[in-house]
Each structure stands twice: as C-alpha cells, then as structure tokens.
Amino acid sequence: MENMGALLDKDRKVTRSLTKHRERRTQIQEQLAQFPRVQLANLPTPLEPLPRLTDALEGPQIFVKRDDLTGLAFGGNKTRQLEFVMAHALQAKPEVLVTGANIQSNWSRQATAAAVKMGIPIVLVLRNSDMQEIQGNVLLDLWMGAEVHFVNEPDMTRMQQHIDDMVAELRAQGKRAFKLDSWSPLTAIAYVNMMCELQAQCDAQNISPTRLWLAAAGPTQAGIVLGARLLDWNLRVTGVAPLRWTNAPMQDITADVANQAAEMLGADVRIAPSEIEDLDNYIGAGYAIPLREGLEAMRLAARTDALLLDPVYTSKAMAGLIDHVKRGELTRDDTVIFLHTGGSPANFAYRDALVGMSKL
C-alpha cells in the first residue's frame, strides 16, 4: 500500500507539473500571437531519439530537435526567424530586400527563398574573401534569382556595414530598399516560440531534458535562454560558438538580444551575460573552417543515426557535446536535446574536407 501511495503521489506531481507547463505556454503563446507572422516553416519539427549515438558515446540519452527540417529551401533555424522578420518587412511595402553574410550563409539562402515566396526581389551582399567557387548555399541563392554582390572582407563582423552601404546605395537610386536583419530581436522571439513547441513535445513523449545543446552565434540562443526563463523550465542551455565577434563578447551580445526580445514581449525579466553559456574552444582555425573534431563528429553522427551535420556550425557543436561526454561533464544522468539548426547545403562546398573525413 505504501508503494501504491508513493506512485499515486508521483502521478499527482507529474500531472501538476504538466498542467503548469500548459498554462505557462498558453500565456506566452498569447503574447507571441500579437506579432505579425507569415507561414514559411513546416512546424512542429520532429523531436527524435538518437539511440545508436547514445550507445556509441556510453553517456547521456541524446535527442535531436530537427530544425533542419523546417522545409524552406532545405530548411534550417532561420526559417522560423524569417516568419517574424519577413512579416515585419512587408509592413514597409519594400521594392527590394537586402541582406547578407558569409558566402555559405544559411540565413541568406532562406531569406532568398522567403523573398521569392513573397514576390519581392532580393540583393545579397556576401563575404567571399577566399574566392570560393559557386557551390552550396550561394549556388541556391543564384538559382532562386538573388542578385549577389561579393565583397573581399576578411572580418566577418564587419559585414553589416557592407550590407548597410548597399541599402543606402539602392535608396539613393530611389528604391524602397529594406534590410532583413538577422540580428533583430524578432529572430530571438521565434525561438521563444520554439521553446514552447519543444516543451510540449517533451511533455507528450515523457522526456525530462537536463541540457539543451546547440551551435550558437547570438539570436537563436538568446531566444532559447529567454524562452526557458519565461517557461520557468529548469534546462541548462549550452551554445557552441562558430566564431568570435570582435565588437563584443558573445555573452554580452546574446544577452542584449534576449533582453530586447523580452521587452518586445512585455516580459519583466532580464538576462545577464553571466547566464549565457557559450563555448568558444571548438572554433578551431576560424569561422567556416572545418575542425578535425567536428569532422569526426559529423562522421559519427552520420554512421550511427544517419544524422547529417554541416562543417561550419552543427559539427562543431556536436564535437563539443562529444568532448564533454568523454570528459565526464555529461553523464548517464543527463538527458540532452541537440538542436539541429540545419546547414546541409554548405556541405557541397566542402567536398575535399568531407572526402578526407572518411579517412580520419
């Protein structure tokens, strides 16, 4: 009888917890519903177990949140963000959209696809300091009709100035040019929404994650950390940086975007930089340069659960996760959700590295 009583008490606690989760999610989703949004993504994206990778690492139980399957021109995390960013842009009735980043930018690919769906021309300003061939993401940009301008800029963090210059040039020509900002707090708000979706999936599948792991360079992690706070979800979020920003520490930048998003949501919370866990020791030789451990992680994920990562972002995040398992910082007591943010088309621009991966 005592055992039966303990089980009933446990069931009541679980029921109360699930009810609390639903109520809090409903409140947040009502706030999110106030923001204009265009439908671009196939949602919800799947939450799947990685049983063979879990066994291979002999560590935590690992699940993957498949935001590589959002569906817009090969998908990725930027599609969620563009639902909010594009809706905001449409209010300005632009004649042309402008954005950009690195030559293998996943943001630029998905922004181009969104612009095509909205029937608006788009101009991309892409960093190509190494004179890379037309392959991967940039090939898709051109295929979808983007007007692409390459700049020889060694510092990725200075690309925003080149994009702003292009906006100014187009406006000087009398065109209503609008910049699609990948760092808008709206991009973080999209990932507050994702956290509501993810928690509902965890509750439905009876998953109690202790960690969430992702490749992070700012807004996506900002939205996740803010979402966890708003949901009162005791979930440790670890980002793995693909580059180092030269204008400010990643933690400061991420916290600032999270706080701008919180203000837009009318939430009385503040995220301190000290609350942002962002690892910068898996970058390797530099941004968009494959890391040996990252290539090894790509091979392991592909050959255990057929999970295809990319050499720029997700491979380095997975390398960090694997390293933490090997060092005993992630154990069998943990349940980890790996957020797959996409990036698959970039693989085709890294043929030599991927061929070499098979020989590691």
Catalytic residue among 17, 105, 129, 182: 105
pLDDT digits (tens, 9 = 90+) for 40-49: 999 999 999 9
Residue 342: give the domain boundaries: 23-74+185-357
Determine what percent of the chain is predicted with pLDDT higher than 70: 95
Based on the fold, state whether residues 241 and 336 are members of the same structural domain: yes
In a domain, 116, yes or no: yes
Section 83-111 average pLDDT: 97
In DSSP terms, 101 is beta-bridged to 126
Determine what percent of the chain is predicted with pLDDT higher than 90: 85
pLDDT above 70 for 131? no
- The predicted pLDDT at position 156 comes to 82
DSSP codes of every residue in 325-353: HHTTSS-TT-EEEEEE---GGGGGG-HHH
In a domain, 8, yes or no: no
pLDDT digits (tens, 9 = 90+) for 197-231: 999 999 999 999 999 999 998 899 999 999 999 99
The answer to whether 18 and 200 are in contact (CB under 8 A) is: no
Section 279-296 average pLDDT: 94
The answer to whether 68 and 301 are in contact (CB under 8 A) is: no
Based on the fold, state whether residues 34 and 107 are members of the same structural domain: no
The mean pLDDT value of the chain amounts to 94
Q: How many CB atoms lie within 10 A of CB 165?
A: 13
- The predicted pLDDT at position 10 comes to 52
pTM (two decimals): 0.93
In a domain, 10, yes or no: no
> Where does the pLDDT of residue 107 fall: very low under 50, low under 70, confident under 90, or very high at 90 and above?
very high
pLDDT above 60 for 143? yes
Section 283-312 average pLDDT: 96
- The predicted pLDDT at position 202 comes to 98
pLDDT above 70 for 130? no
Could you say which DSSP state residue 156 is in? Answer: G
In sequence order, the 6+-apart residues with CB closer than 8 A to the CB of 116 are: 122, 144, 145
Residue 205 sits in a domain of what CATH number? 3.40.50.1100
Based on the fold, state whether residues 134 and 94 are members of the same structural domain: yes
Based on the fold, state whether residues 128 and 88 are members of the same structural domain: yes
Give catalytic status of residue 17 as yes or no.
no
- The residue among 161, 179, 197 that closes a domain is 179
Section 64-77 average pLDDT: 98
Based on the fold, state whether residues 212 and 334 are members of the same structural domain: yes
- The predicted pLDDT at position 247 comes to 76
- The residue among 124, 146, 179 that closes a domain is 179
Based on the fold, state whether residues 92 and 46 are members of the same structural domain: no
Section 95-119 average pLDDT: 97
Say how far apart CA 205 and CA 256 lie, in whole Å: 33
Number of domains comprising the chain = 2
Based on the fold, state whether residues 126 and 63 are members of the same structural domain: no
In a domain, 7, yes or no: no
Based on the fold, state whether residues 122 and 136 are members of the same structural domain: yes
- The residue among 154, 179, 204 that closes a domain is 179
pLDDT digits (tens, 9 = 90+) for 241-277: 999 887 789 999 999 999 999 999 999 999 999 999 9
Based on the fold, state whether residues 215 and 318 are members of the same structural domain: yes
pLDDT digits (tens, 9 = 90+) for 153-191: 888 888 999 999 999 999 999 999 999 999 999 999 999
Based on the fold, state whether residues 265 and 134 are members of the same structural domain: no
- Angstrom distances, CA of residue 160 to CA of 44, 81, 102, 155, 349: 32, 18, 11, 11, 23
In a domain, 304, yes or no: yes
